[in-house]
Amino acid sequence: MGTTGTVMRELRGAQKTAKGVSLYSRYVNRPAGRVLAAGAYRIGMTPNQVTLLSAAFTFSAIASVVLFRPSWGLAALVWGGLVVGFALDSADGQLARLTGRGGPDGEWLDHVVDCAKMILVHTAVLISFRRFFDLPSEGWLLLPLGFLFAAVLTFCAGLLREQLGKAQSAGAQPGKAQPG
């Protein structure tokens, strides 16, 4: 294992393209993930272990939204849990690229965890609205459902676009496939 400086330089070179990436991902999440990936590398963690640690932080934060009455203190804890969880989500891929230990199983785990947290964060907001707020009407509960629909649709469309692009790059002809 190289020094932390060496690992950080290697991680900078193992980044995905910045094309189409949000400013938060580019300037906060990926740099924080790079630091966490370097730490994970130094202590010998695998990318899948980093994914599971990311899930633990994220799901704990989301569960807090459902279980506890909203307050400024809770908001700070949830924010911190989500920031660390999302940075670890960036770190797992960076660690996989650095070590060459990525693969279909790890990518599957990462996408399943991403999908679960996307569904759960919007569901937690809906439950919190219902449990802790005196809403003027039940119609307000449709708001997190609308966000949930948009998030899942965008996520699935992005994955499908990525897979179709990979198939086309590999010389396959995805247009010839029959719908299932």
Residue listed under structure tokens 């629909």: 149
Chain-centre distance of CA 20, in angstroms?
Answer: 16
Tens digit of pLDDT for each residue in 11-51? 666 566 666 678 888 889 999 999 999 999 999 999 999 99
Query: How far is the C-alpha of 126 from the C-alpha of 142, rounded, in Å?
Result: 8
- Residue at 60: amino acid letter: S
Domain boundaries along the sequence of the chain: 4-170
Please give the span between the terminal C-alpha atoms of the chain, in angstroms, as a whole number.
47
pLDDT digits (tens, 9 = 90+) for 41-92: 999 999 999 999 999 999 999 999 999 999 999 999 999 999 999 999 999 9
Q: Which residue has tokens 């790059």?
A: 169
Q: How many residues does the chain have?
A: 180
Q: What is the largest CA-CA distance in the chain?
A: 59
Entry pTM: 0.81
Neighbours of 82 (CB within 10 A): 18
SS3 22: coil
Q: Are 93 and 47 in contact (CB under 8 A)?
A: yes
Domain 4-170 sits in CATH 1.20.120.1760: yes
Please say whether the beta carbons of 60 and 119 come within 8 A: no
The rounded Cα 122 to chain-centroid distance in angstroms is: 14
